[in-house]
Amino acid sequence: MTDGIHDMGGMHGFGKVEPEENEPVFHAPWEARTLALNRALGYTGIWTIDQTRAGIERLPPDVYLTSSYYKKWAVRLENLLVELGLVGADELKAAHALRPGKELKRKLTAADVPKSLSRGSFSRPAQAAARFKPGDRVRTRIIHPATHTRLPRYARGRTGIIEALRGCHVFPDTVAIGKGENPQWLYTVLFEGRELWGEDTDPTLKVSIEAFEPYLEPA
């Protein structure tokens, strides 16, 4: 989902940031289990990171705003597993498997945990030469796809400068909806604060996003 509640940059009304002193890594045992379940299931290859992000973004706004981070993860896990037919809602209710599991590509064993903790690689060979180079002026497109995108709402239709080319990467907008990795060039695009937020903005503010080439056009 593109224009969802998750796309928070620039919204008002959420109040102050409240850091917690000496915050524990997890606030309850179930949070730790939820994180570990996510990692272990991600390892099996049943979904991509962008499918899981889209799974969070599809939560209803009231649920999104009132659920803790790990609660969102847990609910997202249940939803995706049921959608994929790997688990039945009746099984979650019964708290036991009622049918045998399906065959998965691989399963995370204790021995493989250390290597599973490394971040995956999203770099892919380029399909074409990069369209932009550092220093180029670009404008972000105004897009509102009903599906997943990583171009935040506050940075659409804005003019900025290509600051760096970051290589060619898996394209979230297509991989999230099962339309393939479709690798695209990725750029750091720099905006003046005033371009994003108007004339009254603090003149010392600059904001960058990481933008895939299809989000950009020459300016």
Partner 1 sequence: MQLRVRALETVLAEKGYIDPAALDLIIEAYETKIGPHNGARVVAKAWSDPGFRRALLDDGSKAIASLGLINRVGDHLIAVENTPKRHNMIVCTLCSCYPWEVLGLPPVWYKSAPYRSRAVSDPRGVLADFGVTLPSDTDIRVWDSTAETRFIVLPMRPSGTEGWGEDKLATLVTRDCMIGTGLPKNPREAA
Task: Report if residue 118 touches partner 1, rule: CB under 8 A.
Answer: yes
Handedness of CA 210, 212, 213, 215 (dihedral sign): negative
Burial class (CB in 10 A: 0-12, 13-18, 19+), 5: middle
Task: Report if residue 92 touches partner 1, rule: CB under 8 A.
Answer: yes
The CA distances from residue 209 to 32, 33, 46, 59, 74, in Å, are 31, 32, 29, 24, 29
Task: Please identify which residue in the block is written with the tokens 């030469």.
Answer: 129
Closest CB 152 distance from partner 1, rounded Å: 5
Task: Report if residue 216 touches partner 1, rule: CB under 8 A.
Answer: no
Q: Which of 20, 62, 199, 200 binds partner 1 (CB under 8 A)?
A: 20
Strand-strand pairing, 159-169 and 184-192:
antiparallel
Smaller CB separation from partner 1, 100 or 135: 100
Smaller CB separation from partner 1, 135 or 200: 200
Closest CB 32 distance from partner 1, rounded Å: 4
Strand order in the sheet with 137-140: 184-192, 159-169, 137-140, 216-218
Task: Report if residue 123 touches partner 1, rule: CB under 8 A.
Answer: yes
Task: Report if residue 162 touches partner 1, rule: CB under 8 A.
Answer: no
Task: Report if residue 195 touches partner 1, rule: CB under 8 A.
Answer: no
Query: Which parts of 173-192 interact with partner 1 (CB under 8 A)?
Result: 186, 188
Closest CB 163 distance from partner 1, rounded Å: 10
Q: What is the DSSP letter of 132?
A: -
Smaller CB separation from partner 1, 121 or 178: 121
Task: Report if residue 172 touches partner 1, rule: CB under 8 A.
Answer: yes
- Which residues pair with residue 190 across a beta bridge? 161, 208
Q: Which of 76, 196, 213, 216 binds partner 1 (CB under 8 A)?
A: 196
Task: Report if residue 76 touches partner 1, rule: CB under 8 A.
Answer: no
Task: Report if residue 87 touches partner 1, rule: CB under 8 A.
Answer: yes
Q: Which listed range, 128-136, 137-145, 161-169, 175-183, lies at the site for partner 1 (CB under 8 A)?
A: 161-169
End-to-end C-alpha distance for the chain, whole angstroms = 27
Residue 155: count of CB within 10 angstroms of its CB: 20
